[in-house]
Amino acid sequence: MPWLQIKLNTVREQAAKLEDALLDTGAVSVTLQDNADQPILEPGLGETPLWDQVRITGLFDADIDTRNTTEQITARFNQALPEHQWEQLEDKDWEREWMSNYHPICCGERLWICPSWLAPPEPDKVNILLDPGLAFGTGTHPTTFLCMQWLDGQTLDDLHLVDYGCGSGILGIAALKLGARKVVGVDIDPQALLATSDNAQRNQLAENAMPVFLPPQAPNEPVDIVLANILAGPLAELAPQLSALTRRDGKICLSGILATQADAVMAAYADNFVFDPVAQKDEWVRITGTKIR
């Protein structure tokens, strides 16, 4: 089925009003994109920030009258539309188009992340079956890749871990497949807990191998390794809690941190840990260390 789309260049203050106008006039979807290469790297909790310059795309059925629809959008917007243009959207098999963007990812000597619709390139290695979903963590982001790469280099046999901010569960699942005895998944988002449980089942892990909890209900006994791929601000705030979760001589792996934020995060943990050299991929870093007290 062919489609028509209208693209409009606007500013942050007008974006919500323009989005409502498109939806009210029959748009089947509305997409907002950065229109000035302005990254938003660490929004605050509960925030949904927008860029200063925004490109809005509204998708419509191909049988609409674009002139009439433009007039309707203008009336709903209640002022002259910003710079805009209509385009015909090529008809494609969008499911296959989306799937074509994901490929197996090698995260070290042993570890692969594989979409479920593709055969693992190296079936004898440790393969994590993981499809993109609502929860963060598919291996494509540098922070996840850095943590997976670190896990690949560890001896995890019979260890007990906590994956704090588990998202999709990818780190905990990888740890279990690399030999860990048990991983506790913790996240503030109930959707992430569901995703973790579903992905653990998809990877044929034992039913009780990775129990999941919201933070208030999570166990607090110290474990061998604590993984936390979150963001720099929460990592610094959680330093007392995550430090207490790590047993003496245990290890911690922290990511979701920009290179410019590494010193501040390390300072929050410095009283309890001796650090390894910081690993970096693009502008993101991974901090690992061993607990000394």
246 and 266 both lie in a single domain: yes
User: How high is the pLDDT of residue 115?
Assistant: 86
**For range 81-85, the mean pLDDT:** 93
For residues 149 and 214, membership in a common domain is answered with yes
Q: Are residues 188 and 275 in the same domain?
A: yes
DSSP character string of 43-100: PPTT-----SEEEEEEEEETTS-HHHHHHHHHHHHTS---SEEEEEEPP--HHHHHHT
Average pLDDT, the chain: 90
Top pLDDT among 1 and 63 is at 63
CATH number at residue 160: 3.40.50.150
The pLDDT value recorded for residue 130 is 86
For 29, the domain range is: 3-91
Q: Which of 91, 125, 153 is the last residue of a domain?
A: 91
pLDDT tops 60 at residue 191: yes
State whether 87 and 104 are in the same domain. Answer: no
What would the mean pLDDT of 148-169 be, rounded to a whole number? 96
Q: Are residues 150 and 23 in the same domain?
A: no
Q: How confident is the model at residue 204 (pLDDT cuts 50, 70, 90)?
A: very high
The sign of the torsion formed by the CA atoms of 270, 153, 187, 48 equals positive
Q: Which of 38-42, 48-52, 222-226, 257-261 has the lowest mean pLDDT?
A: 38-42
61 shares a domain with 126: no
Q: Are residues 86 and 104 in the same domain?
A: no
**What per-residue string of b and e applies to 62-78 under the rule 16 or more CB within 10 Å gives b?**
eebeeeebbebbeeebe
pTM of the predicted protein model = 0.73
Please give the average per-residue pLDDT across 60-69, as a whole number. Answer: 93
Last residue of a domain, one of 71, 91, 111: 91
Tell me, what CATH number does 12's domain have?
Answer: 3.30.70.260
pLDDT tens figures, 22-56: 999 999 999 998 877 656 555 555 556 678 899 99
Does residue 135 register a pLDDT over 50?
no
- The values of phi and psi at residue 121, to 5°, are -60, -35
Confidence category of residue 131, pLDDT binned at 50, 70, 90? confident
Whether residue 109 sits in one domain with residue 51: no
Residues in the chain: 293
Percent residues over pLDDT 70 in the chain: 88
Number of structural domains, the chain? 2
Do 55 and 152 belong together in one domain? no
Domain's final residue, options 33, 67, 91: 91
Query: Binding site annotation covers 158?
Result: no
Q: Are residues 87 and 144 in the same domain?
A: no
Mean pLDDT of 93-119: 78
Q: Measured in Å, how far apart are the chain's first and last C-alpha atoms?
A: 63
d(CA 144, CA 243): 21
169 marked as binding residue? no
Res 140: pLDDT: 73
Beta strand 160-164 with 182-186 is parallel
Q: What is the mean pLDDT of residues 153-160?
A: 97
Q: Is the pLDDT of residue 76 over 80?
A: yes
Same domain, 177 and 62: no
63: Cβ contacts below 8 Å, ≥ 6 apart: none
Nearest to 31 by CA among 89, 103, 99, 80: 89
Are 141 and 50 within one domain? no
Residue 187 annotated as binding site: yes
Is 272 annotated in some ligand binding site? Answer: no
Rounded to 10°, the helix 66-77/12-24 angle is 130
Query: Residues 68-96: what's their mean pLDDT?
Result: 85
